[in-house]
């Protein structure tokens, strides 16, 4: 069996990753998969954790011949990222954590106006539902296209999503027929997309405040 040499710095990085995964699994183990018979990320990582722990605790066999090993120097974060990128499952986990962190940032505005196909050059935000309605109505008539009026709300996962209240087109306004329940009352709104996804689709410089 080949001997795997792990430097002190690599062991420290992998140990930090181990505790990170352990905390992630502990927190998200209470959630169930939305797809039947499909594992959650927490369940998947929980099966991998013992292998990683075994690697960290493994003591290499004594070499018959002396090995001269030069410890890798970690000069910047790119070196650490290269180590992480070598594990696709870990890379996916980190990407998921980054996306969740972005989606959990509270937007500065309560309402969003965007075209139905997200093909416009920008989207618009405001804290005034009346201004949002007036702006969407004017845009729909101006370019003969349909525009959503959305409320930006925190969902059950503590991330922020756009919920469609209605749509303006050249013929007028159509209220959403779906029912949204926020824990205290019901309202006619349809769950749409994460605000961060919409912001990235248009680009943060192309999110305009409605005057």
Examine the pLDDT at 165 and tell me if it is beyond 80: yes
DSSP for 117-156 reads TS-SS-EEEES-HHHHHHHHHHHHHHHT--EEEEEEEE-T
3-state SS assignment for residue 50: helix
Type and span of the H or E element at 12: helix 8-28
pLDDT at 77: 65
Is the distance from CB of 132 to CB of 113 less than 8 angstroms? yes
- Residue with token string 């192309």: 206
Kind of pairing, strands 147-154 and 172-175? unpaired
Q: Which residue has the higher pLDDT, 202 or 59?
A: 202
Examine the pLDDT at 187 and tell me if it is beyond 80: no
Identify the band that residue 141 occupies on the pLDDT scale cut at 50, 70 and 90: very high
3-state SS assignment for residue 69: coil
- Domain range annotation of the chain: 8-103, 111-209
3-state SS assignment for residue 126: strand
pLDDT at 61: 46
Kind of pairing, strands 207-209 and 190-194? unpaired
Query: In angstroms, rounded to a whole number, what is the distance separating the alpha carbons of residues 172 and 162?
Result: 21
Q: Which two tokens stand for residue 118?
A: 């997200």
């Amino acid at each position: 069996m080949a001997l795997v040499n792990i430097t002190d710095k690599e062991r420290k990085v992998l140990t930090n990753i181990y505790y990170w995964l352990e905390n992630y699994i502990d927190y998200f183990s209470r959630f169930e998969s939305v797809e039947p018979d499909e594992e959650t990320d927490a369940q998947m990582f929980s099966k991998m954790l013992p292998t990683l722990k075994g690697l960290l605790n493994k003591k290499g066999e004594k070499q018959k011949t002396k090995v001269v090993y030069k410890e890798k120097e970690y000069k910047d974060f790119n070196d650490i990222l290269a180590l992480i990128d070598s594990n696709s499952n870990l890379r996916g986990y980190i990407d998921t954590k980054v996306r969740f962190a972005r989606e959990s940032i509270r937007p500065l505005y309560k309402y969003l106006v965007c075209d139905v196909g997200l093909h416009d050059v920008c989207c618009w935000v405001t804290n005034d539902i009346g201004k949002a309605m007036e702006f969407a109505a004017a845009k729909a008539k101006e370019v003969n296209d349909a525009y959503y009026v959305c409320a930006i709300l925190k969902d059950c996962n503590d991330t922020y999503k756009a919920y469609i209240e209605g749509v303006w087109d050249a013929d007028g306004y159509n209220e959403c027929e779906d029912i949204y329940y926020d824990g205290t009352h019901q309202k006619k709104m349809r769950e749409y997309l994460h605000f961060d996804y919409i912001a990235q689709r248009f680009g943060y410089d192309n999110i305009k405040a409605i005057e």
